[in-house]
């Protein structure tokens, strides 16, 4: 039966969920406290990595955390003022890095991401969205053998879970990306992925499709959620909204909304940065390339080459520190010598992350009228369309394409 549904959060997860629910015949309103795509979905590296399965908490990560965390410009850092706040999350994260836990998380991550490309192609079929998504591979490159060898645990997980990739040498890397400096002797490559040429325009176009098909968009900041047996009321400074069902897809800000319903979910944010280079640089690469040694991605985008990187634990309120991403420019130039490194814009965003690298997909423990869909960490663009499918299946009471137990809100 058609229901009145409100989706909170107009990032990629909310927009994909809204489109899928609308396709099921529901009356859908997408709400966001700002304009569409104001969160992490705006500034990512734009890679849709089919079958991506390597969780952030990998065996040995504790040593990386200890080595890097208080160095301000390292790929991973913790602001000292946030240390005690993030400590419980970090302890869970380290627990998830045990070999057995990492293997289990990889299986559950891949269960979702193996449907990434097929779900995106289904979602964008016969819409204007096709102009924002292209076929691409996912290439990681390394200069030194030791750095490449250090990826053996990640590659083993990929093999164990059935994620296909090719190991490349210098010549094959050059064939794929002729403009890269000839310093990369090792790499691995996943074919059959996609890239988003402009994530912000993609999400805006998803909202436009929703509206063209009769859905609604409201700028509305949700301050509190109240539930009864039959409906959900959202209260905000702009008044109240009611619906039969609500989907919480507010990215890194979802924790406080879930808490109001009694669900204490260990969601925190791994902040990340990007820096955009002149438009003339966008043709220098065919697809996103990861510099595995320096932990950054160069993504050719409509607006110019986008350099994205960093995991910073500093919570939702601390001011950005753009020196982090700027410090990578010399390495980007070394990687791609023709790069014009004149900064056009700079950005910081909030990856919504759980310690096990899995999203939360499930109903609130106190109301079957509120469904959570958040926590997609480094892979929200990858998992956007498949999450929409799952959300619509769960609301309809159908069996989703994967077993939902690993993503339950109460799994911690
Ligand atoms: C540097 C960087 C690079 C990345 N690269 C990739 C990549 O290449 N591939 C990939 O798959 N993923 C990537 N990601 C991760 C991806 O961007 C995120 O996982 C994804 O965007 C999360 O989407 P979301 O819709 O859950 O959250 P968001 O996009 O953050 O959207 C949440 C929305 O909720 C709204 N909101 C919050 N609170 C409220 C409230 N109370 N009321 C109303 N609205 C509210 C916000 O305004 C926001 O618009 C990257 C992330 C970063 C930071």
Give the pLDDT confidence of 367-381 residue by residue, as tens digits.
Answer: 999 999 999 999 999
Indicate the pLDDT class of residue 17, thresholds 50, 70 and 90. very high
The pLDDT value recorded for residue 64 is 81
pLDDT more than 70, % of the chain:
99
CA of 185 to the centre of ligand 1 (A): 34
The pLDDT value recorded for residue 101 is 98
Tens of pLDDT along 274-325?
Answer: 999 999 999 999 999 999 999 999 999 999 999 999 899 999 999 999 998 9
From 378, 391, 407, mutation site for ligand 1 pocket: most ligand atoms within 8 A of C-beta: 378
Indicate if the pLDDT at residue 111 is higher than 70: yes
Tens of pLDDT along 383-409?
Answer: 999 999 999 999 999 999 999 999 999
Q: What is the CB neighbour count within 10 angstroms for residue 232?
A: 22
The pLDDT value recorded for residue 72 is 64
From 41, 275, 374, mutation site for ligand 1 pocket: most ligand atoms within 8 A of C-beta: 41
Indicate the pLDDT class of residue 76, thresholds 50, 70 and 90. confident
From 10, 11, 235, 360, mutation site for ligand 1 pocket: most ligand atoms within 8 A of C-beta: 11
CA of 12 to the centre of ligand 1 (A): 7
Tens of pLDDT along 170-202?
Answer: 999 999 999 999 999 999 999 999 999 999 999
The pLDDT value recorded for residue 75 is 83
Average pLDDT over residues 217-224: 97
- Report the alpha-carbon distance of residue 267 to residue 262 in Å, rounded: 14
CA of 29 to the centre of ligand 1 (A): 19
196 lines ligand 1 (CB under 6 A): no
Domains in the chain (CATH in brackets) are 62-100+136-193+268-353 (3.30.9.10)
User: Between residues 25 and 61, which one has the greater pLDDT?
Assistant: 25
Return the closest-CA partner of residue 70 out of 82, 61, 60.
82
Nearest CA to ligand 1 atom 51: 44
Q: How far is CA 350 from CA 131, 209, 264, 274, 353, in A?
A: 26, 26, 19, 12, 9
9 lines ligand 1 (CB under 6 A): yes
The pLDDT value recorded for residue 402 is 97
From 251, 312, 346, mutation site for ligand 1 pocket: most ligand atoms within 8 A of C-beta: 251
Those residues with Cβ within 8 angstroms of residue 203's Cβ, 6 or more apart along the chain or in another chain: 10, 11, 12, 15, 36, 37, 41, 42
374 lines ligand 1 (CB under 6 A): yes
Do β-strands 4-8 and 245-248 pair in parallel, antiparallel, or remain unpaired? Answer: parallel
The pLDDT value recorded for residue 112 is 98
What is the pLDDT of the chain when averaged over all its residues? 96
CB 46 within 8 A of CB 83: no
Which pTM does this prediction carry? 0.98
What atom in ligand 1 is closest to the CA of residue 196?
8
Indicate if the pLDDT at residue 360 is higher than 90: yes
Where is average pLDDT lowest: 6-20, 58-72, 376-390?
A: 58-72
The pLDDT value recorded for residue 65 is 79
- Report the alpha-carbon distance of residue 342 to residue 98 in Å, rounded: 42
What atom in ligand 1 is closest to the CA of residue 250?
34
Indicate if the pLDDT at residue 19 is higher than 80: yes
Rg (CA), the chain: 20
Average pLDDT over residues 17-44: 98
Average pLDDT over residues 223-251: 96
């Amino acid at each position: 039966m058609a229901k009145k549904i409100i989706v909170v959060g107009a990032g990629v997860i909310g927009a994909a969920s809204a489109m899928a629910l609308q396709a099921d015949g529901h009356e859908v309103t997408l709400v966001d406290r700002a304009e569409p795509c104001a969160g992490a979905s705006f500034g990512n590296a734009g890679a849709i990595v089919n079958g991506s399965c390597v969780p952030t908490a990998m065996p040995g990560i504790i040593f990386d955390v200890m080595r890097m965390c208080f160095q301000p410009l390292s790929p991973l850092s913790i602001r000292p003022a946030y240390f005690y706040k993030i400590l419980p999350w970090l302890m869970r994260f380290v627990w998830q890095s045990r070999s057995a836990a990492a293997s289990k998380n990889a299986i559950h991550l891949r269960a979702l991401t193996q449907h990434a490309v097929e779900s995106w192609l289904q979602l964008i079929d016969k819409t204007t969205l096709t102009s924002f998504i292209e076929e691409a591979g996912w290439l990681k490159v390394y200069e030194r053998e030791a750095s490449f060898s250090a990826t053996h645990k990640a590659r083993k997980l990929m093999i164990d879970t059935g994620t296909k990739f090719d190991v490349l040498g210098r010549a094959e890397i050059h064939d794929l990306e002729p403009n890269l400096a000839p310093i990369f002797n090792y790499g691995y490559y996943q074919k059959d992925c996609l890239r988003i040429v402009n994530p912000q325009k993609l999400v805006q176009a998803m909202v436009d499709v929703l509206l063209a098909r009769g859905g609604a968009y409201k700028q509305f900041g949700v301050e509190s959620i109240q539930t009864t047996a039959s409906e959900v009321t959202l209260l905000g400074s702009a008044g109240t909204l009611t619906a039969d069902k609500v989907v919480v897809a507010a990215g890194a800000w979802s924790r406080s909304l879930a808490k109001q319903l009694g669900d204490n979910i260990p969601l925190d944010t791994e902040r990340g940065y990007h820096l955009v280079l002149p438009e003339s640089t966008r043709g220098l690469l065919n697809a996103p390339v990861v510099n595995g040694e320096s932990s950054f991605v160069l993504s050719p985008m409509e607006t110019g080459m986008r350099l994205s990187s960093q995991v910073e634990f500093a919570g939702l309120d601390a001011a950005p520190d753009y020196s982090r991403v700027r410090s990578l420019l010399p390495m980007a130039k070394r990687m791609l010598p023709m790069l014009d490194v004149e900064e056009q814009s700079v950005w910081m965003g909030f990856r919504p992350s759980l310690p096990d690298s899995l999203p939360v997909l499930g109903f609130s423990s106190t109301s079957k009228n509120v469904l959570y869909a958040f926590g997609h960490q480094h892979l929200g663009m990858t998992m956007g369309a498949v999450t929409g499918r799952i959300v619509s299946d769960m609301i309809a009471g159908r069996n989703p394409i994967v077993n939902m137990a690993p993503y339950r809100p109460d799994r911690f």
